[in-house]
């Protein structure tokens, strides 16, 4: 290792902590922020970009939308409501978790799970309605987009259900004694994100033209 | 994070499988990445040899070819479908499975934790998964040569409708599906990796390692991961739609067409949509390669000039600007596609403006060399070669970024020459420089310098002689992706050129044998790197043993006191000052500064 | 290290010497390669061609300056390794020194904006409103041929419909449209008048193609489902090859057409000899 011996006369004024130029002060150790939080946020960002890609594809095709009057099944409104409610219950669960109330957290999560599954069932019902109306994946670009957007969202929601169920089941196994608020927080964040994505997709699907 | 000696000892007693195959140690995973990516490079290089053979001597039958490829080269002449499959897979695996994965999964993975003083990645298991998914992607891609119709043949850009119907080109059968699946796996692998690199860089830096003290290598991989996270998912979206168009009869990209004697009736798909979705990744992809390459070269140039990098902050700013610009210029690949001409003008201007941050970085590196005490080791030779190539390639980009000259040069050999200089060659040089430079750290032995220098000279001559003449041919109107230049009268004058280029190209590919020999020979027989810091560098990876122990550091993680490039300070006896050497007058106690 | 400092440094000097010479030789060779062969470009034959070439020369000039400048410098660095014991120490945090970099980059920026401006003018002309008296032709790409259609005496192209495409009716011309009756349909050959703007409508019936006229310095993609267009004024009589520049399948390398530029009168005479598509086979 290099020894640090001052020579007689420095030719340059030397900043106290070397010449990297930016931090002349001693840098404090990085804050103990949670990598898990960053990881989940970035993963969500990547999923958001996936939906951004699909949405832009949809928007490119939007000028043709008027030529194909696709009537959205009205159950979608109910589904939307269910999903929004599930986000509320999820947030409530998170609040309970932060206050250390394991039991009500589990109740909140359970409710969220139930609403999530209800939403999925509603989506499948909407698919059936479309199919009965003779609108299949291949029928038109817009029916294609309807299935692709809802399916992609649905798959991510199934993952979300799986995650919430995992958190819930772990809490159950530990009999509500310990509960990791971070796990609840991150899964809640993902859940809210999926609600937002759905609201965005639902808005897109309801657009008739730009 | 103090790790008990007990724990360290325990780590060493893990089973062989856990330690070398399903390891979660970033160093092992990085090594797996490096070997796999180099293997893919070898295959890509062999495919390049076939391409060059066809373009140079395609009119002559060769019994050997028939022996090697009884289906692709019946009668000893490569068939056009086979040729298209070759260029497609060549381009794809060299860009994605070799260069991208080598820079981020390989060296990025290895260096980030070591350079920031961490013990491992933030998510070691995710890191391991990322490698295995990548390996699956490689295997799947290579299998596609075996299926009916052969591998994908619509070019690495897989433009529909060509890539949708098997009737359009043979490779658009099962081969194209496999291509898409392989790419989907690769996207997942890069995303898992990139997420890890970002989080690790942001969260696991050791005490004193401020962002403005990060070595440029780490910065490079960081920015590349950011770009990947922004753009790769969009390609995934595009790939999903393409798969649906191919297999489930949707028509996102497909207008009504008449292909192979059959009407394919659809309802108004848009083929340009794919081009947007593809190039939204495809262009930034070049920066996913260029920015880490620039980062590695920065470390190497500083070390072997014995000088602090010139304008460190300027370089970081330029990285940021490049990261942003890279994501908003994709339209320059579509100037002749019927894109709205006003939008094209904006894309053109933005593209040309990339020369500003890019030029800034190159000039900063050039200024770093000024009055340095330069040591012409093999990595340094490749680094200077890199500078030469990025200048040459970058200037070529001005011709293509300018919309009206691109009307002429688009899809000509000029493009092929350009991206082989700026992407294929310069990034290749960065990878070689990094390999020669970090080999003693990774494997504890040196690569042979004399073989390395020969490798450098042949490669340097090879890339110039192979790819610069392609620019001239492109100016002469030679199209790209053509199976043979013989069909056109006005291209006849370039036929001898193709042959000369092929000769140099084959020399270039052959010269890589020196590298392969050097690599494996050095792995087992190379001079031992007893000194952990043989290049007398400042960054942290050199301040631990070679190879570093499990969990990288002994009991204590290093503490950082300064930037990464404190070379030749007048107030130190040695001409370097590692980041973790405590300053005079700072007493060290325990794990930190008092 | 095993080797003595002395040895290492003399070896370094030798390597540096070779590298410097190589860099300068590469520079010369590259300049020569371009300089000696640019005359092999297809001779310009349209009004756009000299304009586009002019931009090419401007960029080429800027590139030569940048290329030669940087290589002179790199070669010089390699050749003249200072014998000092130590490199000079320039801490990286003095923005005043950045001017060494920022000034040349500023010049580059000015150059960038200059040729971007030149480019925009040509671009605007190419995509702007074509001249009113343009001679109109339509080209439909197919794997692997160009169908060339002239509107006939009425000056109007008849409707087409992909559902009507067959071996006999390669572009799906709808003969129930009166405008289609006199349309002339040819394959792989196109005659256009010298000195008069030519407007080409581009379409494709299967995959992407790109209609490329090297001596005119322009190309434009044929996108199925859409109509793109290009126009230019031929300035030199002669026979030229039409190339396909977008990968379109195994016959891509061979998708060749013939463009004949001749007198307006010659074109009209030639057209008069052609049978309209609707009367073929009668
Ligand atoms: C190491 C990195 C390399 C990368 C990343 C790379 C990348 C690519 C890409 C992306 C393409 C375009 C494929 C397509 O059109 O779909 C391509 C084509 C080609 N490459 Fe490479 N390449 C590399 C090395 C080489 C080498 C060493 C040679 C020759 C010695 C070579 C010769 C060619 C040729 C002749 C083509 C076909 C050009 C055409 O007709 O379009 N490449 N390469
Ligand atoms: Cu690009
Ligand atoms: Cu074609």
- Is the CB–ligand 1 distance for residue B505 below 6 Å? yes
Q: Is the confidence at residue A14, as pLDDT, over 80?
A: no
- The span from the CA of B210 to the CA of B212, in Å, is 5
pLDDT of residue B252: 92
Task: Find all residues with CB under 8 Å of C176, minimum gap 6, and list them.
Answer: none
Structure confidence at residue A102 (pLDDT): 82
Which residue has the least CA distance to atom 33 on ligand 1?
B48
pLDDT at C6: 61
CA distance C117 to C108: 14
Question: What residues have CB less than 8 Å from B193, skipping those under 6 apart?
Answer: B104, B105, B108, B109, B127, B130, B134, B225
CB of B152 closer than 8 Å to CB of B175:
yes
- This prediction has a pTM of 0.93
Q: For residue A151, is it within any domain? A: yes
Q: A6 and B584: CB-CB below 8 Å?
A: yes
Helix axes A35-61, B216-247, angle to 10 degrees: 40
- What residues in A contact C225, CB-CB < 8 Å? none
Query: Does residue A64 fall inside a structural domain?
Result: no
Residue with tokens 């001898």: B496
Per-residue pLDDT at B321 = 97
Please tell me the distance from the alpha carbon of residue B30 to that of residue B374, in angstroms, as a whole number: 30
Which CATH number do you get for residue A125?
A: 1.20.120.80
> Considering only CB atoms, which residues of chain C are within 8 Å of chain A?
89, 91-94
Please give, rounded to a whole number of angstroms, the shortest distance from the CA of C84 to a CA of chain B.
Answer: 7
Nearest by Cα to B408 from B416, B417, B399 = B399
Domains of chain B, earliest start first: 27-543 (1.20.210.10)
Cross-chain residue pair C92–A11, CB shorter than 8 Å? no
Q: Which other chains touch chain C, taking contact as 3+ CB pairs less than 8 Å apart?
A: A, B
Residue A20 domain-assigned (yes or no): no
**Ligand 1 proximity of B97 Cβ (cutoff 6 Å):** no
For B517-537, the pLDDT digits (tens) are 999 999 999 999 999 999 999
Residues 6+ positions from A153 with CB-CB distance below 8 Å: A51, A194, A197, A198, A201
**pLDDT tens-digit readout, A56-80:** 999 988 877 777 767 788 899 999 9
| Ligand 1 nearest-atom number relative to CA B94 | 5
**Considering chain C, what percentage of its residues have pLDDT values greater than 70?**
94
Kind of pairing between the strands at C218-222 and C135-142? unpaired
Tell whether ligand 1 has an atom less than 6 A from the beta carbon of residue B190: no
Closest ligand to residue B327's CA: 2
Cβ-based burial of A172 (10 A; exposed 0-12, middle 13-18, buried ≥19): middle
- Give the pLDDT confidence score for residue B16 in this predicted structure: 73
Q: In chain C, what is the greatest distance between 2 CA atoms, to the nearest angstrom? A: 94
The rounded Å distance from CA C239 to ligand 1 centre is 33
CA distance B107 to B96: 15
Which residue in C87, C118, C244 is closest to B567 by CB distance?
A: C87
C-alpha B82/C-alpha B68 separation (Å) is 13
| Ligand 1 pocket, residue B51 CB under 6 Å | yes
What does the pLDDT look like over A163-189, one tens digit per residue? Answer: 999 988 888 887 666 677 888 899 999
Which atom in ligand 1 lies closest to the alpha carbon of residue B479? 40
- Rounded to the nearest whole angstrom, what is the distance from the C-alpha of residue B333 to the centroid of ligand 2? 6
Q: pLDDT band at residue C282, thresholds of 50, 70 and 90?
A: low
Distance, in Å, from the CA atom of B137 to the CA atom of B188, rounded to the nearest integer, reads 10
Does residue A21 belong to any structural domain of this protein? no
Is residue A196 a part of any domain in this protein? yes
- The continuous run of DSSP H or E covering A109 comes out as helix A102-132
Helical segments of B204-215, H only: none
CB C242 within 8 A of CB C211: yes
Give yes or no for residue B480 CB within 6 A of ligand 1.
yes
| Spatial distance between the Cα atoms of C93 and A30, rounded to a whole number of angstroms | 23
**Residue B584: per-residue pLDDT:** 74
CB count in 10 Å sphere of residue A164: 24
Span B363-384, mean pLDDT?
A: 93
Q: How far is CA B197 from the centre of its chain?
A: 16
Q: How far apart are the first and last CA of chain B?
A: 17
Least confident of B185-189, B317-321, B527-531: B527-531
Q: Residue with the nearest Cα to atom 23 of ligand 1? A: B424
A63 Cα to chain B: minimum distance (Å) = 11
Q: What is the pLDDT of residues B202-245, one digit of tens each?
A: 999 998 899 999 999 999 999 999 999 999 999 999 999 999 99
Q: Is the CB of B95 under 6 A from ligand 1?
A: yes
Residue B13 confidence (pLDDT) above 80: no
pLDDT of B46 > 80? The answer is yes
Give, for ligand 1, the residue of B424, B483, B491, B512 to mutate: max count of ligand atoms closer than 8 Å to Cβ: B424
Kindly report the protein residue whose alpha carbon is nearest to atom 17 of ligand 1: B91
Question: Within a domain: residue A163?
Answer: yes
pLDDT tens-digit map of B52-88: 999 999 888 888 888 888 888 888 889 999 999 999 9
In a domain, A172, yes or no: yes
pLDDT confidence of A26, banded at 50, 70, 90? very low
Domain range enclosing A104: 72-206
Give the Å distance between the CA of B87 and the centre of ligand 1. Answer: 7
Contact list, C93 vs chain A (CB under 8 Å)? 15, 19-22
Comparing CA positions, the residue from B368, B527, B376, B526 lying closest to residue B456 is B376
Work out which ligand 1 atom sits closest to the CA atom of B423.
Answer: 5
Residue B536 beta carbon below 6 angstroms from any ligand 1 atom:
no
Confirm or reject: Cβ of B508 under 6 Å from ligand 1. Answer: yes
Minimal CA separation from A22 to chain B, in Å: 6
Minimal-distance CA residue to ligand 1 atom 7:
B91
CB-CB under 8 Å, C92 with A14: no
Three-state SS for B92-131 is HHHHHHHHHHHHHHHHHHHHHHHHHCCCCCCCHHHHHHHH
Average pLDDT along chain A:
82
Nearest to A20 among B212, B244, B533 (CB): B212
Nearest C-alpha to atom 13 of ligand 1 is from which residue?
A: B91
**Which chain C positions have a beta carbon within 8 Å of B399's beta carbon?**
56, 59-60, 63
Q: State how far residue B14 is from chain A, nearest Cα, in angstroms.
A: 26
Note the ipTM here.
0.94
pLDDT score of B280 more than 70 = yes
Kindly report the nearest CA distance between residue C268 and chain B, in angstroms. Answer: 27
User: Number of structural domains, chain A?
Assistant: 1
**pLDDT at B37 > cutoff 90:** yes
DSSP tag of A13: P
Domains in chain C (CATH in brackets) are 2-82+97-126 (no CATH), 135-279 (2.60.40.420)
Instruction: Give B357-380 as a DSSP string.
Output: HHHHHHHHHHHHHTT------HHH
Centre of ligand 1 to C-alpha B507, Å, is 15
Tell me whether residue A177 is in a domain.
yes
| B199 Cβ contact partners less than 8 Å away, ≥ 6 residues apart | A35, A38, A39, A42, B122, B123
Burial of residue B261, with CB atoms counted within 10 A of its CB: 0-12 exposed, 13-18 middle, 19 or more buried: exposed
CA distance to partner chain A, nearest, from residue C121 (Å): 29
**Each residue of C89-139: pLDDT tens digit?**
877 667 788 888 999 999 999 999 999 999 999 999 999 888 888 999 999
**Nearest residue in A to C89, CA atom:** A12
Return d(Cα B334, Cα C141) in angstroms, integer: 18
Q: Which of B585, B572, B539 is nearest to B437 (CA)?
A: B539
Size of interface A-B (CB pairs under 8 A): 191
pLDDT, mean of residues B551-559: 89
DSSP secondary structure string, B223-272? Answer: HHHHHHHHHHHHHHHHHHHHHHHHHS---SS--SEEETTEEE--S---HH
Closest residue in chain B to residue C58, using alpha carbons only: B399
Contacts A20 to C, Cβ<8 Å: 92-93
CA nearest B362: which of B390, B381, B383?
Answer: B390
- What's the whole-number mean pLDDT along residues A15-20? 37
Ligand 1 near B511 CB (within 6 A): no
Q: In the predicted model, is pLDDT for residue C154 greater than 80?
A: yes
**A20, A35, A48 member nearest B204 (Cβ):** A35
What spacing in Å lies between the alpha carbon of C230 and ligand 2's midpoint?
A: 24
Supply the residue whose CA is at minimum distance from atom 12 of ligand 1: B91
Single out the residue of B379, B366, B202, B303 nearest to residue B541, CA to CA. B303
Structure confidence by residue, pLDDT tens digits, B324-356: 999 999 999 999 998 999 999 999 999 999 999
Burial class of residue C11 (count of CB atoms within 10 Å of its CB; 0-12, 13-18, 19+)? middle
Q: Please give the structure tokens belonging to residue B242.
A: 């393409």
Confidence class for position B18, pLDDT limits 50, 70, 90: confident
Measured between beta carbons, the chain A residues lying within 8 angstroms of B562 are: 17-20
Q: From CA B403, how far away is CA B546, in angstroms rounded?
A: 51
CA distance A77 to B162: 40
């Amino acid at each position: 290792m290099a020894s640090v011996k001052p020579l007689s006369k420095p030719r340059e004024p030397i900043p106290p902590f070397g010449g990297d130029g930016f931090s002349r002060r001693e840098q404090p150790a990085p804050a103990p922020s949670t990598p898990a939080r960053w990881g989940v946020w970035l993963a969500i960002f990547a999923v958001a970009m996936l939906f951004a890609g699909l949405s832009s594809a949809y928007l490119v095709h939007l000028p043709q939308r008027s030529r194909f009057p696709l009537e959205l099944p009205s159950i979608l409104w109910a589904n939307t409501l269910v999903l929004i409610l599930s986000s509320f219950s999820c947030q409530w669960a998170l609040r309970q978790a932060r206050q250390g109330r394991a039991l009500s957290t589990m109740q909140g999560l359970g409710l969220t799970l139930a609403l999530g599954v209800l939403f999925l069932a509603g989506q499948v019902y909407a698919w059936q309605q479309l199919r009965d109306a003779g609108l299949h994946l291949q029928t038109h670009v817009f029916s294609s987009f309807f299935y692709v957007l809802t399916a992609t969202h649905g798959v991510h929601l199934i993952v979300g259900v799986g995650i919430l169920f995992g958190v819930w089941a772990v809490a159950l196994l530990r009999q509500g004694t310990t509960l990791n608020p971070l796990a609840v927080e991150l899964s809640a964040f993902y859940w809210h994100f999926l609600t937002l994505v759905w609201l965005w997709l639902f808005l897109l699907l309801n657009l008739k033209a730009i | 994070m103090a790790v008990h000696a007990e724990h360290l000892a325990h780590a060493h007693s893990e089973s062989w499988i856990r330690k070398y195959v399903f390891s979660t140690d970033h160093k092992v995973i990085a090594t797996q990445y490096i070997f796999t990516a180099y293997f893919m490079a070898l295959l890509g290089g062999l495919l390049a040899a076939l391409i060059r053979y066809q373009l140079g001597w395609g009119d002559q039958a060769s019994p050997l070819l028939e022996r090697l490829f009884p289906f692709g080269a019946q009668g000893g002449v490569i068939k056009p479908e086979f040729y298209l499959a070759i260029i497609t897979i060549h381009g794809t695996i060299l860009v994605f499975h070799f260069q991208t994965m080598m820079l981020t999964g390989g060296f990025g993975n290895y260096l980030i934790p070591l350079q920031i003083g961490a013990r491992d990645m933030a998510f070691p298991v995710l890191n391991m998964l990322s490698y295995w998914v990548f390996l699956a992607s490689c295997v799947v891609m290579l299998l596609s040569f075996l299926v009916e119709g052969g591998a994908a043949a619509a070019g690495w850009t897989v433009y529909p409708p060509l890539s949708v119907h098997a009737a359009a080109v043979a490779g658009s059968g099962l081969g194209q599906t496999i291509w898409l699946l392989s790419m989907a796996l690769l996207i997942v692998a890069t995303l898992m990796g990139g997420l890890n690199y970002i989080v690790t860089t942001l969260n696991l830096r050791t005490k004193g390692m401020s962002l403005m003290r990060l070595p440029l290598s780490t910065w490079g991989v960081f920015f590349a991961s950011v770009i990947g996270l922004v753009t790769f998912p969009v390609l995934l979206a595009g790939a999903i739609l393409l798969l649906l168009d191919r297999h489930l009869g949707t028509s996102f990209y497909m207008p009504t067409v008449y292909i192979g004697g059959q009407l394919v009736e659809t309802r108004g798909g848009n083929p340009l949509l794919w081009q947007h979705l593809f190039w939204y990744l495809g262009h930034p992809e070049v920066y996913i390669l260029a920015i880490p390459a620039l980062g590695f070269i920065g470390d190497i140039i500083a070390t072997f000039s014995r000088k602090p990098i010139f304008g460190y902050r300027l370089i970081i700013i330029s990285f940021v600007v490049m990261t942003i610009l890279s994501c908003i210029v994709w339209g320059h690949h579509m100037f002749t596609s019927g894109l709205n001409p006003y939008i094209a003008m904006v894309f053109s201007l933005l593209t040309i403006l990339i020369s500003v941050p890019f030029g800034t970085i190159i000039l900063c590196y050039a200024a770093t060399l000024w009055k340095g005490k330069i040591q012409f080791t093999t990595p340094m030779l490749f680094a200077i070669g890199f500078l030469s190539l990025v200048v040459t390639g970058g200037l070529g980009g001005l011709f293509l970024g300018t919309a009206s000259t691109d009307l002429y040069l688009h899809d000509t050999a000029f493009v092929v020459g350009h991206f082989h200089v700026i992407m294929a060659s310069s990034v290749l040089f960065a990878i070689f420089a990094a390999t020669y430079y970090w080999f003693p750290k990774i494997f504890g032995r040196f690569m042979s310098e004399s073989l390395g220098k020969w490798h450098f000279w042949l490669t340097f001559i090879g890339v110039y002689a192979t790819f610069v003449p392609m620019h001239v041919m492109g100016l002469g109107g030679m199209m790209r992706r053509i199976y043979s230049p013989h069909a056109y009268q006005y291209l006849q004058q370039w036929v001898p050129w193709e042959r000369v280029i092929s000769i140099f190209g084959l020399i270039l590919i052959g010269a890589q044998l020196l590298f392969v020999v050097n690599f494996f020979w050095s792995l087992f027989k190379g001079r031992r790197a007893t000194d952990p810091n043989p290049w007398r560098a400042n960054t942290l990876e050199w301040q631990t043993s070679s190879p570093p122990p499990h969990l990288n550091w002994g009991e204590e993680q290093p503490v950082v006191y300064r930037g990464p490039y404190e070379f030749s300070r007048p107030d130190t006896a040695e001409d370097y000052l590692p980041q973790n050497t405590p300053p005079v007058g700072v007493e060290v106690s325990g794990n930190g500064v008092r | 290290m095993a080797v003595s400092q002395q040895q290492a440094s003399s070896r370094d000097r030798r390597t540096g010497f070779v590298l410097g010479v190589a860099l300068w030789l590469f520079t010369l060779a590259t300049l020569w390669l371009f300089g000696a062969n640019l005359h092999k470009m297809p001779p310009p034959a349209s009004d756009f061609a000299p304009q586009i070439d002019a931009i090419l020369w401007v960029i080429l000039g800027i590139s030569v300056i940048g290329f030669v400048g940087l290589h002179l410098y790199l070669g010089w660095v390699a050749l003249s390794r200072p014998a000092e014991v130590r490199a000079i120490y320039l801490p990286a945090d003095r923005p005043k020194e950045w001017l060494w970099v920022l000034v040349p980059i500023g010049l580059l920026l000015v150059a960038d904006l200059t040729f971007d401006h030149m480019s925009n003018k040509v671009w605007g002309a190419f995509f702007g409103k074509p001249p009113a008296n343009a001679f109109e032709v339509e080209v439909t790409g197919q794997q692997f041929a160009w169908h060339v259609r002239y509107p006939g005496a009425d000056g109007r192209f008849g409707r087409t419909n992909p559902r009507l495409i067959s071996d006999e009716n390669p572009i799906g011309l709808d003969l129930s449209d009166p405008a289609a009756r006199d349309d002339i349909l040819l394959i792989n050959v196109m005659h256009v008048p010298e000195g008069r703007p030519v407007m080409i409508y581009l379409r494709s019936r299967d995959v992407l193609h790109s209609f490329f006229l090297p001596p005119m310095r322009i190309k434009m993609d044929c996108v199925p489902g859409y109509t793109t267009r290009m126009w230019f004024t031929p300035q030199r009589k002669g026979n030229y090859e039409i190339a396909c520049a977008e990968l379109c399948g195994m016959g891509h390398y061979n998708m060749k057409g013939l463009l004949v530029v001749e007198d307006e009168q010659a074109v009209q005479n030639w057209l008069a000899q052609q049978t309209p598509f609707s009367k073929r086979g009668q």
